[in-house]
Homo-oligomer: A and B are copies of this chain.
Amino acid sequence: MRVGVLTGGGDCPGLNAVIRAVTKSLIHRCGAEVVGFVDGFRGLIENDTQPLGWADASGLLTLGGTILGTSNKANPFQYWREDGADVSDRAAGVYREHGLDALVVIGGDGTMSIAHRLQQKGLRMVGVPKTIDNDLVGTDRTFGFDTAAMIATEAMDRLHTTAQSHHRVMICETMGRYAGWIALYAGVGAGADVVLLPEFPYHLDEVLRVCKAREAGGQRFTIISIAEGAHPEGGEMAVAKTIPGSPDPVRLGGACQVLGAALEAQLESEVRTTILGHVQRGGSPTPFDRVLSTRFGTYAAQLVADGANGVMVARRDGKMTAVPFAEVADKTKLVQADDPLVRAALDVGTSFGTPALTPDLDTMG
């Protein structure tokens, strides 16, 4: 048996742990030969490979990043050749050239979408769900999320003490353009006073009301966890701005600064902003993510061994299962107002910046 492996899309803690688990498991179960494609689908298109034996897969569990490299851009259905056709035939040809029995792709919703289309071209495809944002449908959890949330929580812990010393409003922006899971989870984990998510456009008045209630009470500081895609009601997501004189746009600040400027204008307290950015994507995965990656990877190998096709590994209600690509490709799992974590946050006094999702401030301290 010969099986290919590639990692697609953005970086995510646990990618190497999945590569290790898939590879070792396929060798151990089936004596398979495993081949890695370099830089995601680019390697499949350009036939750029590296062998994955047992020794190559050793020592990867704790390592951040991906030894196979990745690429955000190399979609075989969006690269055109001179004759006007896309390069997906070339990708399929490389698959066949290597005599592969299956290709395991580790990636997010975009990667699953490509996998789905390659399956329709006759390739046998198995997916492993990856995104620090935890916003893939079909699975309770994706690997990388626990690590990203841990990093965001630790940062907010640090901001907490400095907010207290200086009586400041501290705004901490996490990743999450469309779904606010990291900001929610870290906000609950760090005890943020306000959590602002893309799913619930916030009312500036409501955020101000919370900050002022805290100024007025004994607690003269406020911690705000905000997702990068959060925006005021009626406003838009804050996006890349151009630096004058520069030919290319560079992100000059978004959710965090828009809110910061608005609060600074109306509060006595000083306001400070922090954007966590790419530190949330890198480094060694948490034990939770290592274990989840190992379970995902070994289960993917089992699916390959069992002849599955066109499915993504998933964890549902705590158990491993397989979900058809069609159910997950190009979809996003959003935070709902009745999510148990949202309700728990409200119960301990966290506001989501809307009248409907703010606790009764009079009951608090």
Contact = CB atoms under 8 A, between A and B. Distances in A.
Interface of A: 7, 10-11, 15, 20-21, 24-25, 27-29, 31, 39, 53-55, 58, 61-66, 69-72, 140, 146, 149-151, 153-155, 157-167, 170, 185-186, 188-191, 218-219, 243, 246-248, 250-253, 257-258, 260-262, 264-265, 271-279, 281-283, 286-288, 290-291, 294-295, 297-299, 301-302, 317-320, 340-341, 343-349, 359-360, 363-365
14 contacts: A11-B165, A28-B348, A64-B158, A69-B165, A158-B279, A185-B287, A190-B290, A250-B273, A274-B278, A275-B277, A286-B286, A288-B288, A294-B345, A295-B344
B278 A157 contact: no
A348 B294 contact: yes
Contact of A28 (B65, B150, B288, B364): B364
A118 to B, nearest CB: 22
Contacts of A153: 287, 290
B347 A162 contact: no
Contacts of A265: 246-248
A219 B279 CA distance: 20
Contacts of A150: 286-288
A32 to B, nearest CB: 10
Nearest to A245: B261
Most B C-beta atoms less than 10 A away, residue of A25, A186, A261, A265: A261
Contacts of A191: 61-62, 290
A155 B281 CA distance: 11
A28 B347 contact: yes
A314 to B, nearest CB: 12
B277 A15 contact: no
A219 B162 CA distance: 28
Given A24-B348, A61-B190, A72-B166, 11 more contacts: A54-B364, A62-B157, A62-B190, A150-B288, A189-B287, A243-B253, A250-B253, A274-B279, A291-B341, A295-B341, A298-B344
A286 to B, nearest CB: 7
A247 B264 CA distance: 9
A300 to B, nearest CB: 11
Contacts of A295: 340-341, 344
A243 to B, nearest CB: 4
A85 B341 CA distance: 45
Contacts of A70: 165-166
A159 B246 contact: no
B186 A287 contact: yes
Most B C-beta atoms less than 10 A away, residue of A28, A162, A170, A264: A162
A323 B5 CA distance: 43
Contacts of A154: 283, 287
A262 B244 CA distance: 11
A345 B299 CA distance: 11
B347 A29 contact: yes
Given A61-B190, A283-B157, A55 B261 contact: no
B317 A159 contact: no
Given A140-B318, A246-B264, A161 B344 contact: no
Nearest to A289: B189
